[in-house]
A and B are shown apart, each in its own frame.
Chain A
Amino acid sequence: SYVLTQPPSVSVAPGKTARITCGGNNIGSKSVHWYQQKPGQAPVLVIYYDSDRPSGIPERFSGSNSGNTATLTISRVEAGDEADYYCQVWDSSSDHPGVFGTGTKVTVL
């Protein structure tokens, strides 16, 4: 099945920009969604369709997708952004359509 690879960890100082990558074969041809998961909580959708934000998600969260890499960008990082982040695609032509990335722990220094 399709594989999505993320860096295990990203560290960023408050007020700076965090970039989390999600690598997959020709991922630019797919729609990528991103989730934030804080300790002890269920995941929350923060980006859908590569770059759209659900209502209630701050504009500081943005996304892009091209070639073999999708990227979640968090601008002006705050302490409350410290969490695990997962990318995800839905490949409806596959017998295993639901695929998650390996996850990235964002640490705010």
Chain B
Amino acid sequence: QVQLVQSGAEVKKPGASVKVSCKASGYTFTSYGISWVRQAPGQGLEWMGWISAYNGNTNYAQKLQGRVTMTTDTSTSTAYMELRSLRSDDTAVYYCARIDTYVGWFDPWGQGTLVTVSS
């Protein structure tokens, strides 16, 4: 079955960087994109951006431009999201989700990775 499995929880200090992985299985990785969505504690879903696993093209949310980088490794069907210069308000659960931009929905989702930013 189609599945996305993410890396484990992280605790980081302000100013540090975090890199979260998302390993895909059960489908042809390069036929879809991977989007990243985060959810701060008690808050709603925030779209962060997406990457085409076919050609590596990216589109990042404007508020994260310059701090976020999304990459893929097609040899291992794994997507990565790196967020730099972490602040306390980056504390959130980070999800990856498969996306076909021709249809526009996210399915399935990874299980989520909690990133805690604290001094």
Contacts and interface: CB of A to CB of B under 8 A. Distances in A.
A99 B107 contact: no
Contacts of B31: none
B26 to A, nearest CB: 15
Nearest to A92: B101
Contact of A31 (B35, B46, B62, B104): B104
B45 A33 contact: no
Interface in A44-100: 44-45, 48-49, 54, 86, 88-90, 92, 95-100
A42 interface: yes
A43 B62 contact: no
A95 B62 contact: yes
Contact of A100 (B47, B101, B109, B112): B47
B7 to A, nearest CB: 14
Contact of B101 (A37, A96, A97, A99): A97
B44 A48 contact: no
A103 interface: yes
Interface in B1-50: 35, 37, 44-47, 49-50
A102 interface: yes
Contact of A89 (B104, B108, B112): B104
B46 A100 contact: yes
